[in-house]
């Protein structure tokens, strides 16, 4: 009867916790679980930790909160004398964060001891990759930092979206941390085409088989540099190339007009006959037209050789600059640059 009553009480407690879980966020359940853990209520704490880890939110647990829930769950299961469950929680924690270590001021030696035992037997890595990497010239590379739970053999490669490997990046051992590089090229040295790729990190066991994979999604864009503008026209730098001729035409016009006036002023007797007005007008017209013709014929511009030479050099300098820009733009159109965007790493068996 006592065993039955205990089982019934545990079932009621489980149902009550499940109902409470539906009404609380994962973070609130985590806080309640840590409180229950501190009060040595390990059954309640384990149920709350598992509920917090299982629920998607909102809002979901952050990675730091998830790590805190897993380390407390491992300690709780150990105190419940469920060593395998505790080891499973610690292993999940190490896969999430290979660099995690329990705070020895918070957890007793038996917890840290089991965690260390699980860590040495777990082969997993975490990766940090810059969100955006530009590959513009030789030497530019995507920098990947890998952090391992413990020393083991890994293989790093770049895969097509369909999972086919086309570039091996690294194969060998990894200890605490390791930096690997990818230059955006295939095994043949050619830049990859635009598209979706994966950086795959395989952790291998003692027998050489892949025991765990970490995949980092990569999106590659091909970009071209912007064309340079042509230099502005040299009009503002040009100087006048011609100048108006001297005052010769003006003097001729003035002379003609003066002669015409003089003729008009002559006494009638000088013009002969009946007053001679018609003849004088004819002479006046001749003087005037002659001066005007001379003025118009001599009103022209003359070249300035020095300014013409200066303008020629200005035009040649502008043309050289324009030709250099045109050649540079033609070269830019032939160049290919890559923009590599990294997504969130995830564990699994590859894409």
pLDDT digits (tens, 9 = 90+) for 213-223: 999 999 999 98
CB atoms within 10 A of CB 52: 28
pLDDT digits (tens, 9 = 90+) for 307-328: 888 889 989 998 999 889 888 7
CB atoms within 10 A of CB 137: 8
What are the domain boundaries of the chain?
2-121, 125-224+338-348, 234-334
Separation CA 54–CA 148 (nearest Å): 26
Separation CA 298–CA 296 (nearest Å): 5
Predicted pLDDT of residue 252:
47
Predicted pLDDT of residue 56:
84
pTM, full prediction: 0.63
Predicted pLDDT of residue 154:
97
Separation CA 211–CA 175 (nearest Å): 17
Task: Write the class of the CATH domain 2-121.
Answer: mainly alpha
Chain mean pLDDT for the chain: 82
Q: Is 70 exceeded by the pLDDT of residue 55?
A: yes
Q: Is 80 exceeded by the pLDDT of residue 22?
A: no
Please choose, from the candidates 71, 60, 182, 79, the residue with its C-alpha nearest in 3D space to the C-alpha of residue 133.
Answer: 182
Task: Write the class of the CATH domain 125-224+338-348.
Answer: mainly beta
């Amino acid at each position: 009867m006592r065993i039955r009553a205990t089982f019934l009480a545990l079932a009621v407690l489980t149902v009550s916790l499940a109902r409470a879980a539906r009404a609380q966020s994962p973070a609130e359940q985590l806080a309640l679980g840590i409180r229950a853990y501190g009060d040595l209520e390990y059954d309640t704490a384990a149920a709350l930790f598992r509920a917090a880890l299982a629920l998607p939110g909102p809002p979901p647990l952050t990675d730091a909160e998830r790590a805190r829930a897993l380390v407390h769950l491992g300690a709780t299961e150990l105190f419940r004398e469920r060593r395998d469950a505790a080891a499973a929680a610690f292993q999940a924690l190490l896969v999430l964060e290979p660099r995690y270590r329990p705070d020895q001021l918070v957890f007793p030696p038996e917890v840290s001891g089991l965690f260390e035992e699980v860590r040495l037997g777990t082969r997993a890595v975490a990766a940090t990759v810059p969100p955006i990497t530009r590959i513009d010239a030789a030497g530019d590379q995507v920098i990947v930092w890998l952090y391992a739970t413990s020393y083991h053999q890994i293989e790093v490669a770049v895969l097509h979206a369909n999972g086919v490997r086309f570039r091996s990046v690294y194969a060998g051992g990894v200890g605490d941390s390791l930096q690997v590089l990818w230059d955006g090229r295939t095994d043949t040295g050619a830049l990859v085409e635009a598209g979706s790729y994966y950086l795959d990190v395989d952790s291998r066991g003692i027998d050489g088989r892949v025991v765990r994979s970490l995949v980092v999604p990569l999106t590659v864009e091909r970009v071209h540099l912007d064309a340079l503008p042509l230099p502005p026209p040299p009009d503002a730098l040009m100087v006048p190339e011609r100048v108006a001729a001297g005052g010769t035409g003006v003097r001729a016009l003035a002379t003609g007009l003066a002669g015409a006036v003089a003729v008009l002023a002559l006494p009638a007797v000088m013009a002969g006959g009946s007053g001679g007005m018609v003849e004088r007008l004819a002479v006046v017209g001749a003087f005037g037209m002659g001066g005007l013709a001379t003025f118009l014929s001599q009103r022209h511009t003359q070249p300035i050789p020095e300014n013409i030479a200066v303008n020629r050099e200005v035009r040649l300098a502008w043309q050289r600059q324009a030709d250099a820009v045109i050649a540079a733009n033609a070269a830019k159109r032939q160049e290919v640059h890559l923009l590599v965007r990294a997504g969130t790493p995830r564990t699994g068996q590859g894409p």
